[in-house]
Amino acid sequence: MELRIESDKLEDYLQEVPPVIQWDTPLVQEKIREIEAKASTPEDKARLAFEFARDGIQHSFDTKSKTVTISAEDALEKKEGICFAKSHVLATLLRGMGIPAGFCYQRVLRKPNMPESGHALHGLNALYLEGHGWFRVDPRGNKPGVDSQFTIDHEQLAYPIRPELGEVDYPHVFAKPLPAVIRAMQETQDGHTLFWDRPVAI
């Protein structure tokens, strides 16, 4: 897929978006220091940040948790969040280390093999590395049937998109999270409600 970059200025993908994307907070700073102590190259830093967001933050829908986290700091504190929150964690860590990162979305079935469940947005990320350009990764979190990996030359995302089922792979790389996504997360009663109340399209 040819990605559609919202802005041609890399600095737009290095900005904080308070209060969701901020890296001057204690737990984010701690995680950045931990990553930078283990990795020297931007690619290695990006890979470690991705693996942490994927594996170190539990997906709330998988654990059937009612907790809703939105900002990176909150997700780090509670160690959980849905796909959107996990993408906020990854973008925050990357931007905090000087690696441009954006926000991407897909329209997927709420329940993978149940068309009657309807559609909802799924959040993931794109990042920019010198010498490689822009590419997408999905920190959703793996489980049986989901195997998302940090790959540069070819995508290995969480969900294969099935247009025949009404699913859509949006090519956009946004500099900020979608306002409708943030609003749905802020206005929801709990994680169970959010499962059904997520926006259905960008």
> Mind listing the pLDDT tens digit for each residue in 110-123?
998 889 999 999 99
Rounded CA-CA distance 139/148 in Å is 7
**Per-position DSSP letters for 116-183, written without gaps between them:** GG-EEEEEEEEEEETTTEEEEE--S--BTTB-----SSS---S----GGGT-EE--EEBSS--HHHHH
Contact by Cβ (8 Å): 76, 27: yes
Tell me the three state secondary structure of residue 70.
Answer: coil
Query: Which residues of the chain are modeled with pLDDT < 70?
Result: none
Using the CB atoms, write b or e for 84-106: b if 16+ within 10 Å.
bbbbbbbbbbbbbbebbbbbbbb
Per-residue model confidence as pLDDT tens digits over 25-40 = 999 999 999 999 999 9
pTM exceeds 0.85: yes
Rounded CA-CA distance 18/156 in Å is 30
Tell me the three state secondary structure of residue 114.
Answer: coil
The pLDDT value recorded for residue 113 is 85
The pLDDT value recorded for residue 86 is 98
Contact by Cβ (8 Å): 126, 186: no
The amino acid sitting at 52 is: F
Q: Which two tokens stand for residue 9?
A: 């200025």
Element (H, E) at 106: strand 101-109
Contact by Cβ (8 Å): 68, 127: no
The pLDDT value recorded for residue 175 is 98
The pLDDT value recorded for residue 101 is 98
Give 194-199's long-range contacts (Cβ < 8 A, gap of 24+): 194/68, 194/82, 195/61, 195/110, 195/120, 196/110, 196/120, 198/120, 198/121, 199/120, 199/121
Question: How many residues in total does the chain contain?
Answer: 202
Domains of the chain: 4-197 (3.10.620.30)
The pLDDT value recorded for residue 119 is 97
